Every structure is written in structure tokens, then in C-alpha cells.
Amino acid sequence: MGEFELIRRHFARPVRRATLGGGDDCALLTPSPGMQLAISSDMLVEGRHFLPTVDPRKLGHKALAVNLSDLAACGARPLAFTLALALPQADEDFLGPFAQGLYALADAHGCELVGGDTTRGPLNICITVFGEVPSGAALLRSGASAGDDLYVSGSLGDARLALEVFRGRLSVPHGVFEAARARMEQPTPRVALGQALRGLATSAIDISDGLLGDLGHVLRASGVGACIDTTIAINLIATQPDWTGAEATFDTETRLGLVLAGGDDYELAFTAPAASRAAVQAAAQAAGTPVTRIGRIEAQPGVRLVGAGGQLIERRYASFDHFARV
């Protein structure tokens, strides 16, 4: 099967929102008046962002999810995306379910495929996503102020737990693993929450490289620091309730490490004035996404972790750096 036939079979669907979709040299998008276009691009590589054993359907989901997560962090509404795909061979068994997983998530967010590229090469998935946000309303990394509350959405650390089990460094009961694995393989981009936080959050970022690492970007961009309550943060790992039988394997240190520096979470970390607490919870409820207040923004640069009774604890967690990690 030739390249063009391959593309046609799996990725040619009529576009609704775009003026012109895949099949011409460019896609054409007509932005709504008063809107800015938010753009993000992520590249997924086998062995780094997903395991060779991954179900192609889940990979299709994840490849788009990590991009939608960037739109969410800006408070943008998804519009469209392009897909560039390098494949070792034109593999029907891969492409069919990959396209299904991709389209299922795209359709759920009204985000349509408008173009792209397919070529032969080591498996590589590059998606560029487009969203719109009212001019000046985008959530940025640079708006946090001392005194703001610090929040995260959903749960943290589960994806990294699954990875560590895959690597043989941790072991958990099968049911726990499956739940964690679902978080790793099919993250939920917090698109509704991001939009609900427009006008409320003073800064936001999506957590892809671990909370501490990504929070660091916000703090540096905003010229502030933060204090995190680890007695709250440690409960952010969703699979915790099932850990009883395996408790011995996971000391507090490990659990906190997964939460603070796990990576691959695709939750939002954001800040909002303390006066907006009720409004933030209402926005979270409207978006159907739980949020947890885990600390506050402070004038002093850096991150401070406090334990029970508010005492400062010293720990260093590396952020998830694709070029530093072994």
C-alpha cells in the first residue's frame, strides 16, 4: 500500500471547522474575531514517551492528549491539529487502532485533523495543536504573585508508578498496576478546567515533567517561589487507596517522589488569589475536575516543602529531563 493510500484510508475525513483540511498543500483556518490562536507541538518517540508494547489505540489517545494538555494550560478551546507520523512500515494493524484512539479523543474535544505528513522512519509521532482563546485571556506561566494559592488538578504520580513497575523497580498488586497504567497510557487533558480557570487563575502550566520541575518554570517566569504542604501532596497519588497490601514496598519518600517528580501526569498546576478560593472550586466543579490546594506562592524564590506541623523538609527531586535522564 502506497503512502497516499495509507493516509487516505486512515486519516482522510471531511473537516467541519477548517475551511480546508488535509489534501491540499496547507490547511486553512479562519480564526474567530477577537480570538488569539494558541499553538503547541509535541513529539512522541518510542522508548521515551511510550513503550513498544503499548496498545496503538492508547497511543493515538496519548499523542493527542499531551498536546490538548498544553491548550488546557493556556485556557484555550481546541480547534484543530496536524499529525506528522514516521512509521517503520505501513502497518495496518498499527494504523487502524492508532487512528481510532486519536479520533475518539479528538471528537470528544471537537478538535479536527486538518493536515500532516506520513513518512517511513523510526516510529515518531508529532502533533501540532491549535486552539483559540479570547485575546489577552490566555493563562500564562508568568502571572503568579506572592500570596496566591497553589493548586493541582486530579492526581499525580500514578503514571510514574506504572513506569517504575514496568522497569521492575517497584511492584504492586495487579489491580493497582492496571489503574496506574491507564493513567500512564491514557492521560486526561484538563481542557474544560483550563477554560473554566480563565479570569481566575493567575498562572498555569501542565505537568508533563513532574510537579516540581514544571512548577519551577512558573516560579521563574513569575519571579516568585512556592511552599508546598507535603502532607496534602502525598495524597495526590490516585492509586494510594489500594496500596495497603504493598505498603512495605512504598515508603513515604518514594510516594512523595512519585507525586512531586513523577512526570507524565498531564494535570494542571495553577495559582489563584486566596480571595478566589470559592470561585476556583466552583470552576473545578463546573469542569468536572477535582482540584487540590497544595500550597502557596511566596516572594522568596525556590520551592520549600513543609511536613506535618509545618516544619521545613529537605529533599531534592530531579525534574523529568528527556536529555538528562538515563
Q: Which is nearer to a copy of itself, 172 or 291 (CB)?
A: 291
Q: Which residues of 109-118 are buried (b: 16+ CB within 10 A; e: fewer)?
A: bebbbbbbeb
What does the block give as the cell for 38?
494558541
Secondary structure (DSSP) of 60-105: HHHHHHHHHHHHHHHTPEEEEEEEEEEESS--HHHHHHHHHHHHHH
Query: Rounded to the nearest whole angstrom, what is the least distance from the CB of residue 246 to a copy of itself in the complex?
Result: 32
Q: Which residues of 50-83 are buried (b: 16+ CB within 10 A; e: fewer)?
A: beeebebbbbbbbbbbbbbbbbbbbbbbbbbbbb
Residue type, 24: D
Strand partners, 125: 44, 85
Residue 209 CB, nearest approach to a copy of itself (Å): 9
Q: How far is the CB of 202 from a copy of itself (least distance, A)?
A: 14
For a copy of itself, the closer CB: 214 or 229: 214
**For residues 318 and 166, is the Cβ–Cβ distance under 8 A?**
no
98, amino acid identity: F
**Do 65 and 105 meet the contact criterion of CB atoms below 8 Å apart?**
yes
- Which is nearer to a copy of itself, 102 or 227 (by Cβ)? 102
Shorter beta-carbon distance to a copy of itself: residue 18 or 161: 18
> Least distance from C-beta 249 to a copy of itself, angstroms?
30
Q: State the minimum distance, in angstroms, from the CB of residue 113 to a copy of itself.
A: 11
Helix residue spans in 112-265 (DSSP H): 158-166, 174-185, 191-196, 211-222, 230-233, 252-261
State which amino acid sits at residue 1: M
Asked whether 115 and 21 are in contact (CB, 8 A), the reply is yes
Q: How far is the CB of 243 from a copy of itself (least distance, A)?
A: 32
In the complex, minimum distance from the CB of residue 302 to a copy of itself, in angstroms, rounded to a whole number: 17
For a copy of itself, which is the closer residue by CB, 159 or 227?
A: 159
Q: Cβ closer to a copy of itself: 217 or 306?
A: 217
Sign of CA dihedral 128, 133, 136, 139: negative
Q: Which is nearer to a copy of itself, 203 or 230 (CB)?
A: 203
- The residue (of 182 and 221) whose beta carbon lies closer to a copy of itself is 221
- CA-CA distance, 197 to 313, in Å (whole number)? 31
Q: How far is the CB of 241 from a copy of itself (least distance, A)?
A: 31
